Structure 1
Amino acid sequence: MLKLRLKRCGRKKQPSYRLVVMVAHSRRDGRPIDQVGYYNSITKQSYFDVIKITKWLEQGVKPTLTVRNLLKKANILKN
Structure 2
Amino acid sequence: MVKIRLKRMGRKKLPIYKIVVADARAKRDGKTIDILGTYNPKSKELQLDVEKVKEWLAKGAQPTDRVASLIKKVVQ
TM-score range, shorter chain: over 0.9
Report how many aligned residue pairs link the two structures: 76
Equivalence for 2:63? 63
| TM-score using structure 2 length | 0.96
Runs of 4+ in 1 over 6 A off after TM superposition: none
Supply the distance in 1 between the matched residues of 2:52 and 2:75 (Cα, whole angstroms).
15
Q: Which structure 2 residue ranges, 5 or more long, are not aligned? A: none
Q: Aligned-pair distance for 1:73?
A: 1.3
Q: Distance in 2 between matches of 1:53 and 1:68?
A: 11
Aligned-CA RMSD value: 0.9
Partner of 1:37: 37
> Which amino acid is the alignment partner of residue 9 of structure 2?
C
User: Which structure has the highest strand share of the two?
Assistant: 2
Deviation digits for residues 19-56 of structure 1 (CA, Å, limit 9, x no counterpart): 00000011100010000100000011010001111100
- 1:16 is matched with which residue? 16
Measure how far apart 1:74 and its partner are: 1.3
Supply the distance in 2 between the matched residues of 1:72 and 1:52 (Cα, whole angstroms): 15
